[in-house]
């Protein structure tokens, strides 16, 4: 917990690293509010599966930007930043302090390093980029992107259709690479306004936490959440399908996988994601921001 009295406390780290509990303790100590910086906790339908703060937590401190999107809504980093700005402005103008907490690295990158002001993408161009992915496949589209934006082609993780198509559509629309646009950013926040902590716990401890939390989610009714979501017409292209474990548990409820296999797959996916998050934060932010716990 920071000892400096700056209006903003930025708290980041991998999934299951204890961020929410730390943020709540900070809010109780300072009288501050908590603002969500986890792209999956924006969704309303799966509070258990996304480990969203529960009613007991939200009764102890104001929680902002949690659970207000339906599963079909896609939010960009820019959408999140625009929604966060009024709350940030309130804290900076002398209102209650604000803890911005989560594991979505792009949100913190936008705050600390800035967000590129990329022109609006035409619907026709966006559809063309998505169609290119569907028609050619990931490898072929990545090879095309390497010719125009090698940095993005190397940075974007395998199977990340959304970001690969995004980089391609930016080049199609503007004739410039996404990397070029991102290199022209200005930080959203002056360094004197915030304290940044990035949790980097021991990997074995973190993996055990991931496994235990998944079991707790199931014990408390996560499968019922998934079943209700399927009843709303859930399809594989809904943005909410990126929630960790959701694909496996949908397959389980559809009869395509046993619960044991679904849980095993969800555990592995969660561990892999936690590892990628840790690596990403380590590569993007200064070493002195880390809390080795």
How many angstroms separate the CA atoms of 94 and 276, rounded? 36
In sequence order, the 6+-apart residues with CB closer than 8 A to the CB of 130 are 165
How many angstroms separate the CA atoms of 63 and 41, rounded? 11
Is 67 marked as a binding-site residue? no
Is 13 marked as a binding-site residue? yes
Is 20 marked as a binding-site residue? yes
In sequence order, the 6+-apart residues with CB closer than 8 A to the CB of 258 are 252
Give the DSSP letter of residue 188.
S
The first and second tokens of residue 70, run together, are: 């339906």
Give, in order, the Cα–Cα distances in Å from 222 to each of 28, 46, 117, 236.
28, 8, 38, 19
Token pair 């090879």 in the structure block, residue: 143
Is 201 marked as a binding-site residue? no
Is 17 marked as a binding-site residue? yes
Is 18 marked as a binding-site residue? yes
Pick from 32, 51, 101, 43: which is nearest to 75 by CA?
Answer: 43
Burial 211-225 (b: 16+ CB within 10 A, else e): beebeebbeeebbeb
* Annotated binding-site residue numbers: 13-20
* Annotated binding-site residue numbers for substrate: 15-20
* Annotated binding-site residue numbers for ATP: 13-20
């Amino acid at each position: 917990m920071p000892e400096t009295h700056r209006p903003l406390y930025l708290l980041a780290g991998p999934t299951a690293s204890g961020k929410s509990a730390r943020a709540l303790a900070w809010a109780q100590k300072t009288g501050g509010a908590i603002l969500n910086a986890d792209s999956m906790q924006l969704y309303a339908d799966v509070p258990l599966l996304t480990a969203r703060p529960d009613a007991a937590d939200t009764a102890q401190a104001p929680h902002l930007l949690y659970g207000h999107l339906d599963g079909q809504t896609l939010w960009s980093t820019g959408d999140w930043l625009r929604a966060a700005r009024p709350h940030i402005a309130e804290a900076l103008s002398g209102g209650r302090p604000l803890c911005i907490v989560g594991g979505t690295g792009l949100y913190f990158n936008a705050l600390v390093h800035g967000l590129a002001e990329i022109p609006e993408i035409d619907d026709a161009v966006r559809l063309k980029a998505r169609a290119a992915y569907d028609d050619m496949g990931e490898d072929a589209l990545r090879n095309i992107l390497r010719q125009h934006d090698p940095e993005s082609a190397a940075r974007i993780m395998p199977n990340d259709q959304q970001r690969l198509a995004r980089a391609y559509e930016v080049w199609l629309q503007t004739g410039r690479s996404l990397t070029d646009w991102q290199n022209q950013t200005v930080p959203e926040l002056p360094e004197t306004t915030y304290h940044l902590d990035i949790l980097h716990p021991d990997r074995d401890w973190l993996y055990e936490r991931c496994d235990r939390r998944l079991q707790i989610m199931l014990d408390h009714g996560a499968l019922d959440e998934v079943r209700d979501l399927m009843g709303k017409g859930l399809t594989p292209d809904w943005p909410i399908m990126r929630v960790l474990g959701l694909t496996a548990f949908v397959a389980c409820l559809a009869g395509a996988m046993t619960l044991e296999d679904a849980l095993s797959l969800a555990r592995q996916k969660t561990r892999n994601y936690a590892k990628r998050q840790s690596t990403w934060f380590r590569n993007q932010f200064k070493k002195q921001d880390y809390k080795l716990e």
